[in-house]
Amino acid sequence: MKHDVPPDSIPPRGHEAKRASIMDAAGEVFCRESFAGANIDMIAAEAGVSRQTIYNHHGDKEKLFVAIVRDLTERCNAGIFATISTFPDQPKDLEADLIAFAVRMTRNCICNRDGKFLRKLIQTEGERYPELFAEWREQGPGRTWPAIAARFARLAHAGFLDIEDPDVAARQFQALANAELQTTFMLGGTPTDDEVLQSATHGVRTFLRAFAKRQPAADAQKHSALAGA
Amino acid sequence: MKHDVPPDSIPPRGHEAKRASIMDAAGEVFCRESFAGANIDMIAAEAGVSRQTIYNHHGDKEKLFVAIVRDLTERCNAGIFATISTFPDQPKDLEADLIAFAVRMTRNCICNRDGKFLRKLIQTEGERYPELFAEWREQGPGRTWPAIAARFARLAHAGFLDIEDPDVAARQFQALANAELQTTFMLGGTPTDDEVLQSATHGVRTFLRAFAKRQPAADAQKHSALAGA
DNA sequence: GACGAATTAGACAAGAGTGTCTAAATTTAT
DNA sequence: ATAAATTTAGACACTCTTGTCTAATTCGTC
């Protein structure tokens, strides 16, 4: 009798290990070589699996590719939402807290493996897969930008910022935080921790020069918390 | 006697037409299909030329690719420097002039054919051609960023802006101007004129909120010109 | 109109990659 | 231990692509 399968119950066990290993390797290879440049034997070798196993799991090269993009989109979204949940709603030190948030965003969502891979695949193959593209756009930017904007709106409402359009502010925040990393990103490189911190610091400072609530009195941010509450 | 060749004297004439036609088509196809996905027959067909002619002109696929990237880099740089030369050194209306400049930059250097193609090729194949990459980085960003920064430095020195680090300001200006176009660029799309204007307007406004010289009096910019001189 | 250079179509060999198939080996659970 | 499922290596047919070669044709020029 098979009624005692574990409650979670993904069928076998080594089976899933192979599957994960294939996904890993395929992401790496597709990203490095582009869809057309990648070949199944490379992926099989990198995954430590026979070519046939890949065909057993995924059918063909294109289905495998689609599975990779879906998987990366999901994982990246999860990471982004996790990071958004660390947004400083009640900042002690507005500048420091926003810098730290910007650094987390860049490091954990843009520079990490999944972020780099997804970005590259979208850039490289986005035009050839309109449906996949539409799906990513809805699930990714379509959901994350409003979430970030909502956090900035809250911060403004609490009296920390002087913002008219939270959507615009959210995009500008992100753009400023990564302003000095664009060339590196363009080439698929990974900036050092120090470069990330530099760019985030400069970016947040400029952001606050533009949007920090201006007080008549001197020491601004600390008191504005009271004003907002 | 052949001493009466025109002073400019690139050997033949229909020859050069073919060459240009090949470059055009190859750019298009490499960009659309990636290096590995492109094939010579496609390029030949799109150029209206026989496959052999391409081999006569360029030797092989890789040499052709390198020629394309060099060509695009040169043309893009020329466009960028031409646009930089329209930077408002003596603005009548700082906000309006900077917005117009940002729009020119985006439209003529980032959204145009060459800009789109070069960006995509760098993103897609940059990692596979380290020497080409190094060359582009030097000739492109390595020369254009300082040139833009110098313009902002001048504007600051003339009393229009309150900037500490012109290099940082230049990058932030560009980042802000395109902040709302990132998702579109990511997928190789071209934003509408209206979207470009929107993003530039919002970006420049934020930039000026951060960096415009703050005067005690009301109508600021007009007078600061005198102060700088 | 005639010459030489460039272009063309087409065939071609060589190589690489996809996706299928088979029979043997291995793993997993009963 | 045994039975079922999965994985494996290897061979295979097929397609596509590169880069070369040849002979005919077209083009630009004198």
What does pLDDT average to in each consecutive run of 10 residues of chain A (229 residues)?
Answer: 36 75 97 96 96 96 96 95 97 97 98 96 92 89 97 97 98 98 95 98 98 65 44
Tell me the nt nearest to B12, Cα to C1': D28
C-alpha distances out from residue B56 to B4, B16, B44, B51, B62, Å: 27, 13, 12, 9, 14
State the Cα–Cα distance between residues B55 and B208, nearest whole angstrom.
53
Tokens of A29: 């290879």
Check CB contact of A33 with chain B, cutoff 8 Å.
yes
- Side-chain-side CA neighbours of A211 within 13 Å: the count stands at 31
Q: Could you say which DSSP state residue B213 is in?
A: P
In contact, B152 and B100? CB cutoff 8 Å: no
Cβ atoms within 10 A of the Cβ of B208, count? 20
Q: Is A116 near chain B, with CB under 8 Å?
A: no
Arithmetic mean of pLDDT, B35-64: 96
Q: What pLDDT is attached to residue A13?
A: 58
| Model pLDDT, residue B17 | 86
Average pLDDT, chain B: 89
| pLDDT higher than threshold 80 for residue B74 | yes
User: Is A39's CB less than 7 Å from nucleic acid strand D?
Assistant: no
Tokens representing A76? 């990246």
B76 pLDDT tier (thresholds 50, 70, 90): very high
Q: CA A66, CA A23: separation in Å to the nearest integer?
A: 11
- Quote the crossing angle between the two packed helices A141-157 and A61-84, to the nearest 10°: 10
Copy the structure tokens of residue B115: 């800009």
- For the residues B106-126, what does the mean pLDDT come to? 96
Q: Residue B180 gets which letter from DSSP?
A: G
Round to whole Å and give the CA distance between A106 and A74.
18
Cβ contacts (< 8 Å) between B202 and chain A: which residues? 165, 168, 172
The amino acid sitting at B194 is D
Buried b (16+ CB within 10 A) or exposed e, A96-120: ebbbbbbbbbbbbbbbeebbbbbbb
* Cβ–Cβ contact A36 with B under 8 A: yes
Q: Which domains does chain A have, with CATH numbers?
A: 1-59 (1.10.10.60), 69-228 (1.10.357.10)
Alpha-carbon A70 to chain mean position: 14
Dihedral angle at the C-alpha atoms of B81, B86, B91, B97, nearest 10 degrees?
A: -100
List chain A residues with CB under 8 Å of B120. Answer: 123
Mean pLDDT value of segment B98-126: 96
Examine the pLDDT at B82 and tell me if it is beyond 60.
Answer: yes
- Region B160-187 average pLDDT: 97
pLDDT in tens, B206-220: 999 999 997 654 444
CA of B158 and C1' of C27: distance in angstroms? 77
Q: How far apart are CA B54 and CA B23, in angstroms?
A: 10
Strand partners, A212: A161
Nearest Cα residue to A61 out of A33, A40, A41, A45: A40
Distance CA(A148)–CA(B59), nearest Å, equals 51
Q: Dig out the tokens for B101 from the structure.
A: 């400049």
Q: Tell me the Cα Rg of chain B.
A: 22
Distance CA B5, CA B19 (A): 20
In sequence order, the 6+-apart residues with CB closer than 8 A to the CB of A115 are A76, A79, A109
Q: Residue A215: helix, strand or coil by DSSP?
A: coil
Chain B 8-37, CB < 7 Å to strand D: 12-14
Query: Would you place residue B3 in the very low, low, confident or very high pLDDT band (cuts 50, 70, 90)?
Result: very low
Measured distance CA(A58)–CA(A25) in Å, rounded: 14
Distance of CA A134 to the CA centre of its chain: 17
Q: What is the distance between the alpha carbons of residues A216 and A208, in angstroms, rounded to a whole number?
A: 16
Both tokens of B109, joined, read: 């250097």
- Rounded Cα distance between B15 and A22, Å, is 50
* pLDDT at residue B97, as a whole number: 98
d(CA A170, CA A160): 15
The answer to whether A24 and A57 are in contact (CB under 8 A) is no
> Chain A residue closest to B35 (CA)?
A37
Quick one: pLDDT at residue B215? 65
What's the rounded Cα separation, in Å, for the pair B103 and B83?
A: 10
Measure the CA–CA gap between B204 and B210, rounded to whole angstroms.
Answer: 10
Which among B167, B122, B119 has a CA at the least distance from the CA of B145? B167
Q: pLDDT band for B13, please (50, 70, 90 cuts).
A: low
pLDDT at B220: 44
Closest to B34 (Cβ–Cβ): which among A124, A180, A210? A124
Alpha helices for A3-140 (secondary structure H): 14-37, 40-47, 51-58, 61-84, 94-105, 113-125, 130-139
Least CB–CB distance from A180: residue in B36, B171, B178: B171
Q: Looking at B59-165, list the stretches that DSSP marks H as alpha helix, in order from N- to C-terminal side.
A: 61-84, 94-105, 113-125, 130-139, 141-157
In this structure, what is the dihedral angle of CA atoms A181, B181, B128, A63, given to the nearest 10 degrees? 130
